[in-house]
Structure 1
Amino acid sequence: MQALRSRSQDLVKFLNHLESFGFIRVIGSEKAETLRFGPAGELVLHNLRNEWLHSTTTYREMNVFPYHTDSESCTNSEHNYQDLKSAFSVAKFLSGDSPPFGIAYSRTTKERDNHDPLYPQRHVELKQIIFEKPQVSKQYFYRHLQQRKRWWRKFAADPGRFSFGDVIRISESSIAEEAQILVTFPWGVHEVEKVRYRGCEDLDNLPIEEQNDFTVLYDRKRSLPHVIESYFSLDYGVLTYMFDAYYERKSGRPVLKFHRKLSPYKYGFAAGSVSSAVAQELYDMSRMICLDLKKEGLGCLFPSPQEFGKKGLETQLAKHDALGICYTVVLNEGSLKSGLCGLYNRETTLQEQTHISKLPEYCSLIMKNY
């Protein structure tokens, strides 16, 4: 990756940080062939995919059904309606044979046209395909474009990085239009997602016998629906949010300011240097609290017995900041008697005091909010 690293000192710093903390490693020389995720990176990838599924299938004004195919496509824009036929049939049946409805579609693909050297050639593509009535399909396209930009901004440390490109006609002979959602970094402006209005051109180009499988009922007649789609690389999306999250405090200390829904670990544990006996008691207490939080479904990082209560508190908090941990439960010798602890906030660097018995309920409440 020497050619990539020579592009920007900021980029070098980001990539080194991500590699050293087990987030991601870019594989390739002149261009990224693939992105290899470490343990922390896998958790961020899992969280981003879940948020995409939530926004596309749960939090929607229509029925959208998840679907995954193992067949590997060779280009991002390539449609394989043969793969989609069974999913379309089920979606149509469950939606009463009438649009609108959609499919949230994932597959592994090879991208050959993207010129960003950090965009992986082989990646997981997440795609929404919406089947809509012709008379409202164009309106939906523009509304969907706004929804997708808001989605990217919702999880960003700097929402202003994300913007629209121009809506353009794909070709002179086509009614299809597309627009890009772009992200701006010091080393350039890059596409993170594409939204397309395709009309019914793709379905019209199918053989007649196959077109019948994709007809729907509206206005008391059977016809082909119009198609609106949006798609992005899950791998590149994770890398984008990692770059967006990177920040340095005035002291030069690196921080990953992940949105709490994307952070690999929501809570960590720390205690300043104390005697060996007290450190062991605090360590046992921290593990008990950690298990209670895990029972609430909260992602927590167990404390390290080599660091907890033995290294300085700032050293431990710096490590948690570098990992993007949202909150750190801070214990001290007084916690053993009073049951009180501090809850360090990565964003504000302040601690609020609370009782350990209230932590599971309070920490769950914090994570429910976006």
Structure 2
Amino acid sequence: MRLINKILSMCEAYDFIRPVMTNNHVDFVKYGASGELLRQNIRNEWLYSNVTSRDESVFQTCYGMQKDRFADLLSLKEPYTNAKLFCNSQLPFNITDSRSQCEQKIADNTIINEESKFFNPRHYTRLKCTAFCIPEEGLQFFYHWQRQRKIWWRKFSANPGKFSLTEISTDDTGQECTEIRAEFDWGQETIETISNVGSKFFDKLDPTDREKFLARAGKKKLLPHIIESETSLEKASMVFLCDGYADLPYHNERRETFRFHRKIAPYKITFAASLSNAKKAEELRQLSVYLGLGLKKSGVSTLLAPNIAKKSLETQFTDADCLGIPYTAVLSESTLENGIMGLRSIETTLEEKIHVANLTSYVELLIKNY
């Protein structure tokens, strides 16, 4: 079986994603419960990197994809005008879009690599950042942004070396462009495009519209230099699902799992139990619910298993690993007596012993500092 088919089979079995096909092309991606959480976490991390933690002011909008780049930039006229008001017309500032539902035209007879089509559905949610810079600083920002975006992809990968930047190419209009690509077993996939648009766009505008794009660098009034970067939630989700897939030796067999960075994992922790006395099962279930509610109230995404201890411990671990859950809190009969429980890591499969009273604060620290 092809590797991509194994990954998609795992995705469907554990409710991540299911590509919906039309004429041998992916029309859109349907997300399951696990996939929705993964998608949400990826978007949150993209926003943190591109909005929250930026030195310059960044404004969010949702303006939809237009028929070409000129119309796309022109549609920013209103959010750009509003951004100028907040910035006292001073450059630089950025505008991001992480919600627009877009469509790319793919002819039915277009031949796309069997794996690549899953990274490029017809309908997708755009993640786009448009930076408006001081012209003298435009080229410097273009190179800086390439490094920053590459670092972002590498940060969440189990294999950071798979991400690379292409050589900068120049189109017929003189616009520079580079791509971030990810290396997989079947070849490279383009996952993000960064463009040095410059200020030539404004030459096509009538004087009234051009006036609205004028901003200031100090006391000087001028037109900004534009840098763009664009990817999609569907592409990012597929990248991290493929990156996180692992077929590992386990005892005398092999086990398929997902291993995600803690920040984007759908669930951060779940519970498992080992016991010999069935009468204690209900007490352990109640304890897991109590501890789980404490974790949830602290903002830790937690999966509560209703059938805790009704499966073997190994089966419980397998279920957690297939969902890519970084930690499993392991309860036992002795936990009810002395409060000591195990915390199993998906990375090492080893357990460290902690007290139930410290579980929430310790897991918060593990996730925060990663």
The TM-score bracket by the shorter chain reads: over 0.9
1:229 and 1:144 mapped to 2: Cα distance?
9
Correspondence list, 1:98-113, <5 A: 98-106=90-98, 107-112=100-105
Which residue of structure 2 lines up, in the alignment, with residue 13 of structure 1? 6
Q: Which residue of 1 aligns with 2:141?
A: 140
Give me the whole-angstrom Cα distance separating, in 2, the residues matched to 1:21 and 1:337: 35
Q: Which runs of 5+ in 2 are unaligned?
A: none
Correspondence for 1:188: 187
- 1: CA distance between counterparts of 2:39 and 2:365? 23
Deviation for aligned residue 1:309 = 1.2
2:301 aligned counterpart, secondary structure: coil
**CA deviation digits over 1:54-84, x for unaligned, max 9?**
0011111211111123x45456x56424432
Matched residues in 2 for 1:35 and 1:245: separation? 18
CA deviations on 1:265-319 (whole Å, 9 max, x unpaired) are 00000012533310110000000000011111000001222xx112110100000
Q: Deviations over 1:169-226 (max 9, x none)?
A: 022xx23100000011111211000000011122221221111111101253322101
Q: What pairs up with 1:303-322 in 2 under 5 angstroms?
A: 303-305=305-307, 308-322=308-322
2:126 is matched with 125
Q: In 1, are the aligned partners of 2:25 and 2:117 still within 8 Å (CA)?
A: yes
How big is the shift at 1:95?
1.7
- Pick aligned residue for 1:289 from 291, 297, 310: 291
Distance 2:38 2:171 in 1: 33
Shift of 1:100: 0.8
SS in 1 for 2:235: helix
One-letter amino acid of the structure 1 residue matched with residue 97 of structure 2: Y
Q: Which residue of structure 2 lines up, in the alignment, with residue 264 of structure 1?
A: 266
Alignment check: 8 A CA contact 2:16 2:36 kept: yes
The Cα of 1:152 is off from its aligned counterpart by 0.4
In structure 1, distance between residues paired with 2:104 and 2:139: 27
Do the aligned partners of 2:20 and 2:29 also contact (CA within 8 Å) in 1? yes
How far does the alpha carbon of each residue in 1:230-259 deviate from its partner, in whole angstroms, 9 at most, with x for none?
000111111110000001221211121100
Residue pair 1:22, 1:37 contacting (<8 A) in 2 also:
yes
**Paired letter, 1:59:** S
Q: Residue 89 of structure 2 aligns to a residue in which SS? A: coil
Q: Which runs of 5+ in 1 are unaligned?
A: 1-7
For 2:354 and 2:261, the matched residues in 1 are separated by 23
Distance in 2 between residues matched to 1:293 and 1:9, nearest whole Å:
39
- Corresponding position of 2:369: 369
In structure 2, the residue matched to 1:50 is 44
1:233 aligned partner: 232
Are the equivalent residues in 2 in contact too, given 1:74–1:111 (CA < 8 A)?
no
TM-score, normalised by the number of residues in structure 2: 0.93
Which letter maps to 2:78? S
Superposition map of 1:332-343 within 5 A: 332-343=332-343
Contact 2:70–2:201 (CA under 8 A) maintained in structure 1? no
Instruction: Work out whether residues 156 and 259 of structure 1, in 8 Å CA contact, stay in contact via their aligned partners in 2.
Output: yes
Distance 1:286 1:190 in 2: 42
Whether contact under 8 Å (1:24, 1:36) holds in the other structure is yes
The range that moved more, 283-292 or 213-222, is 213-222
- Give the equivalent residue in structure 1 for 2:354: 354
Match of 1:91 in 2: 83
Tell me by how many angstroms 1:86 deviates.
Answer: 2.1
C-alpha displacement at 1:121, in angstroms?
Answer: 1.1
Residue 68 (structure 1) aligned with residue 62 (structure 2): yes
**Mapped contact 1:74–1:109 kept (Cα < 8 A):** no
Q: TM-score of the superposition, structure 1-length normalised?
A: 0.93
1:24 maps to 17
In the alignment, is the contact (CA less than 8 A) between 1:108 and 1:124 conserved in 2? yes
Match of 2:29 in 1: 35
What is the identity percentage for the equivalent residue pairs of Structure 1 and Structure 2? 34
User: Which of 243, 253, 256 matches 1:254?
Assistant: 256
> Contact conserved, 1:73 with 1:108, CA < 8 A, in 2?
no
Q: Distance in 2 between matches of 1:203 and 1:278?
A: 72
* Correspondence for 2:167: 166
| C-alpha distance 291-93 of structure 1, shift in aligned 2 (>3 A) | same
CA distance in 2, matches of 1:79, 1:284: 58
- Partners in 2 of 1:92 and 1:344 — Cα distance? 51
Q: In 1, distance between residues paired with 2:248 and 2:16?
A: 20
